[in-house]
Structure 1
């Protein structure tokens, strides 16, 4: 939590935010807009706990009253709430109190009424209301989703490359990416629409990094365990290739030698997007076994990320290695071990175990990783598939362990090395 001092009294970002909100009614409409942009900057700097503490049912009811009493124009109210929704989704928080507020009830009614208009429909207002409802809610009514999702997808289809349009598309897709339970309303719902957005970007590169990730997240959660959509995601849209390529680009945008507190806001946005990609890749491999696609580029990228983030961003390094472990666990052939060796994952795991100051969680993940690799090399079904490859992989891993002096450790701790030698 950021703390400032006024004499002897502590003033937090939350205090400053509430003070500006209380004073908004004193300003003209154009001045209100400038103050809201200032409030947006405060939200960006808040940590998760401080952010969550600000947005209570009471605060949303205050905003509702300001709209009711015409102390805050609907346009500026939407601007403020879109900013709140944007940071809510980006920070990965749930604002539970919005659902219970009078403001939520007002906006739900406005969405339905605006959508039902045959003449004089305000499309921009409808889009704003839908984005606010989706980005601030954790529970969605089907009637509202059936209006909001197509409305936001329509915005996401905008294909201009100008900065303003790209930002609108990014916000619409980010809001959509926060919907987890859409499958309850129909298998593969909106799958084709998002597929087209992704394909267009792959050809013309019209989306920001965050917008492209958000489209993929929305898609991945839409086809949860739906085998009939698997080939489209893997072979037509090339999820593994695209995820690896995006991670490569994002990793290059960050100076990993700087500590978190030294990062610029733009760099932290890249790091947040990297974390989101890792979580979604891990989700994908939790649901599906990749049948034939070559994972080498992705494994190599993840290994480089593990090394880059190890010193100052251990949570990124740990998550990247968990993804590697998940891929190793789900692959169903000896090729997986070959890829792990060539992609550098085995070397990184050994390096991590040798660190003078071990991160316990990451070290535990590395030991568990070796257990999985050893188990795979011992299983008869893999030995029978390709005995020559099995023997070659055993030899490579034994040599690496012996070079680093780890053969005795694994022999005593896990009793796996004797099986490797057989």
Structure 2
């Protein structure tokens, strides 16, 4: 309960982060060896560290390389998915279960990290793959989990520290393309998916230094081929008729220039 309370310290008390972060590190390391924390306590400890990242990014190296956050978070997501009922009856949908609430807390903790992270290693590919599996498994049975995953994937695509190649390796691009073809897609999902691909398109159009220019061209070709294979252009074109409506409904506005959604080679 102390860990749960401390993770909810507000911004006005952010100086307490300096006081507690190394103690939290010790608690997490001990838990990794002895598995002594409850699910809530463990998640609360990680959430406390994530809360301080926008203000104390110098601790990010400890989170990534010493505490192996990506590996631990991926393991937690996989464990939680085993206890989630993927075939809930129609009348049970919309009711929050204990497992769903724990999943939501972890996904929101991940969002805090991806909004601020500047460091990345190969362990995050496994984490992204776990997020994608949760996303595909949630579907209509767990709407809040589904929506949180969609938002999280959009934030990951928006983070410049994360290479676009990782989104391909981790299965994020495939998952979003698959979901975009569903007839049950609602306006919120459409909005987030379009933002996901707008961000990828923008990033692939920006030229970097000459040394990495060949890598950028190769990635553009990979992305173009994946989109063409899945019929992405037809999907986006079919959404264009409701773009203005989505613009009115959501903020910030999405682009009304359809070329912004495509990757040209």
Short-chain TM bin: 0.7 to 0.9
The answer to whether the 8 A contact 2:220-2:263 is kept is no
**How far 1:389 sits from its partner (Å)?**
2.9
Does the C-alpha gap of structure 1 residues 184 and 389 become closer, same or farther in structure 2, counting only changes over 3 Å?
A: closer
**Aligned to 1:371, which of 198, 201, 223?**
198
**Aligned to 2:72, which of 242, 245, 269?**
242
**How far 1:322 sits from its partner (Å)?**
1.6
| Aligned match of 1:407 | 233
**Aligned to 1:354, which of 177, 181, 187?**
181
**How far 1:175 sits from its partner (Å)?**
2.9
1:5-404 aligned within 5 A: 171-181=1-11, 183-259=13-89, 262=92, 268-292=97-121, 294-332=123-161, 336-381=163-208, 384-404=210-230
Structure 1: gaps (5+ residues): 1-170
- 1-structure distance, mates of 2:188, 2:60: 33
Does the C-alpha gap of structure 1 residues 283 and 418 become closer, same or farther in structure 2, counting only changes over 3 Å?
A: closer
**How far 1:219 sits from its partner (Å)?**
2.6
**How far 1:232 sits from its partner (Å)?**
1.4
User: How many residues matched?
Assistant: 246
**How far 1:225 sits from its partner (Å)?**
2.2
- 2-structure distance, mates of 1:238, 1:207: 17
The answer to whether the 8 A contact 1:322-1:365 is kept is yes
**How far 1:409 sits from its partner (Å)?**
5.4
Does the C-alpha gap of structure 1 residues 286 and 237 become closer, same or farther in structure 2, counting only changes over 3 Å?
A: same
The answer to whether the 8 A contact 1:254-1:271 is kept is yes
**How far 1:215 sits from its partner (Å)?**
1.4
**How far 1:303 sits from its partner (Å)?**
0.8
**Greater relative contact order, per chain length (Cα 8 Å cut-off, separation 6+):** 2
The answer to whether the 8 A contact 1:306-1:321 is kept is yes
**How far 1:261 sits from its partner (Å)?**
5.7
- 1-structure distance, mates of 2:262, 2:114: 31
Structure 2: gaps (5+ residues): 241-256
| Aligned match of 1:68 | none
- 2-structure distance, mates of 1:344, 1:184: 36
RMSD of aligned residue pairs (Cα, Å): 2.6
Q: Is the radius of gyration larger for structure 1 or structure 2?
A: 1
The answer to whether the 8 A contact 1:324-1:345 is kept is yes
- 1-structure distance, mates of 2:64, 2:261: 36
